[in-house]
């Protein structure tokens, strides 16, 4: 396991264990389980590639089981199990762990965004110098990135996770805080999300 450094920034990466029939289920309705799994593995590797270049400490949170000797090197990533009855509580526990370990800025990203860059993530940490919270809004009404420098517990509670209201409800919770919004991006959930991404469409076409 990676030892904690003196870095004061921590990047959390939430992943689903890549298993047939359990990855990108909405996308799978159009492209099939096998192709959906290939697309998710591609997105996981892309997330690894961009996150590995970020100067913060990094922790991968697995949905089902911590994997050794996978794409996430123990030399770069701390490894944890997600804990909690819904996505909000699992994120809350991960943020709480980060702050309890002494990190001053904690940020989370998902693992299904094609156009997220390491520069976007670094900018998020920079924005926390002068803001309480930074958010990367997703086109579907959720968010692809959320960072804070003290635990904002209520943003993780009373949300309809996976729906178009999450972003709005989260911003309502933060109305008394200084929030910086980053550029809107699109995460990959359904077939229309991949139509303009040749790299991913090729995975679909080659799988036919």
- pLDDT-derived band at 149, boundaries 50, 70, 90: very high
95-100: average pLDDT? 97
Q: Where are the alpha helices (DSSP H) in 63-117?
A: 87-100
State the Cα torsion 89-78-174-124 to the nearest 10°: -150
**Which of 108, 152, 149, 155 lies closest to 132, judged by CA?**
149
* Residue 18's pLDDT band (cuts 50, 70, 90): confident
Taken in order 23, 16, 189, 122, the sign of the CA dihedral is negative
pLDDT at 125: 98
Confidence of residue 208 (pLDDT cuts 50, 70, 90): low
Integer Cα distance of 38 and 206 in angstroms: 11
Has residue 85 got a pLDDT over 70?
Answer: yes
Distance (Å, whole) CA 189 – CA 187: 6
Q: Which domains does the chain have, with CATH numbers?
A: 9-207 (3.90.550.10)
Is it the case that residue 7 has pLDDT exceeding 90? no
Reported confidence tier of residue 15, pLDDT bands at 50, 70, 90: very high
Stronger pLDDT, 193 or 148, i.e. the higher one: 148
């Amino acid at each position: 396991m990676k030892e904690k450094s003196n870095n004061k920034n921590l990047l959390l990466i939430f992943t689903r264990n890549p298993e047939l029939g359990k990855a990108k289920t909405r996308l799978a309705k159009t492209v099939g389980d096998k192709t959906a799994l290939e697309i998710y593995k591609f997105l996981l590797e892309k997330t690894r590639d961009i996150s590995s270049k970020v100067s913060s400490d990094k922790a991968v949170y697995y949905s089902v089981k911590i994997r050794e000797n996978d794409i996430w090197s123990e030399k770069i990533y701390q490894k944890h199990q997600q804990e909690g009855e819904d996505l909000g509580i699992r994120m809350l526990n991960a943020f709480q762990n980060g702050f309890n370990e002494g990190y001053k800025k904690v940020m989370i990203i998902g693992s299904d965004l094609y156009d997220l860059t390491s520069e976007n993530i670094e900018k998020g940490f920079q924005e926390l110098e002068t803001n309480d919270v930074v958010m990367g809004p997703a086109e579907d009404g959720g968010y692809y990135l959320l960072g804070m420098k003290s635990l904002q517990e209520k943003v993780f509670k009373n949300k309809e996770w996976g729906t178009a209201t999450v972003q709005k409800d989260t911003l309502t919770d933060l109305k008394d805080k200084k929030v910086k919004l980053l550029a809107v991006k699109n995460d990959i959930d359904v077939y229309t999300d991949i139509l303009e991404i040749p790299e991913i469409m090729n995975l679909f076409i080659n799988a036919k």
